[in-house]
């Protein structure tokens, strides 16, 4: 597949995921809606959930945002009591951000809704393309996850 077609497919896949996420996130429970989380906040919570702790610099890099923008997101999430700052044991100048117990619960809810909307996409793929194509997609995803696991 050439670069242009890859770009088009990537944009369409992104649109499909976003549209599906909007549909299923609208069903989110009241507690999650009341948090009024931005997309960047949700992404940061998910990154911290994977890494367990990270610096503001690392968070900025993952969000592809400036440190000042990331710091604002961190302050907002701290106000919601979803994350906390912790000093490094080795170097007191180094500060990490971590999820609180409430943050862990919130990320679980977000993941549950993400799984719900991705499952809906996969069900539609199976309906339109058949189970065999879905099986191939499953093998691709498992292979990619294996590669990404080595990189994190």
pLDDT value of position 60: 92
| pLDDT above 60 for 146 | yes
Which residue reads 């997101």 in tokens?
A: 73
Beta bridge partners of 96: 86
Return the closest-CA partner of residue 13 out of 111, 124, 91.
124
- Name the pLDDT band for 152 (thresholds 50, 70, 90): very low
Q: Is the pTM of this model over 0.95?
A: no
**What residues contact residue 66 under an 8 Å CB cut-off, 6+ apart?**
60
| pLDDT above 70 for 35 | yes
Over residues 116-132, mean pLDDT:
81
Over residues 17-41, mean pLDDT:
72
**Can you state the angle between helices 56-63 and 67-79, rounded to 10 degrees?**
110
Residue 33 token pair: 């809606």
Q: Kindly report, residue by residue over 79-89, the tens digit of the pLDDT.
A: 999 999 988 78
Q: What angle do CA 43, 87, 46 make, to 5 degrees?
A: 15
Residue 129 token pair: 């393309």
């Amino acid at each position: 597949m050439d670069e242009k077609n890859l770009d088009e497919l990537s944009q369409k896949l992104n649109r499909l995921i976003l549209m599906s996420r909007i549909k299923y996130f609208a069903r989110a429970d009241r507690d999650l809606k009341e948090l009024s989380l931005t997309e960047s906040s949700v992404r940061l919570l998910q990154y911290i959930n994977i890494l367990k702790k990270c610096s503001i610099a690392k968070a900025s890099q993952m969000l592809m945002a400036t440190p000042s923008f990331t710091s604002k997101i961190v302050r907002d999430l701290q106000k919601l009591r979803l994350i906390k700052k912790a000093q490094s044991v080795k170097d007191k100048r180094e500060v990490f951000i971590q999820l609180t117990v409430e943050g862990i619960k919130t990320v679980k809810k977000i993941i549950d809704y993400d799984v719900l909307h991705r499952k809906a996409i996969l069900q539609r793929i199976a309906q339109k393309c058949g189970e065999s194509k879905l099986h191939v997609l499953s093998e691709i995803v498992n292979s990619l996850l294996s590669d990404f696991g080595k990189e994190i």
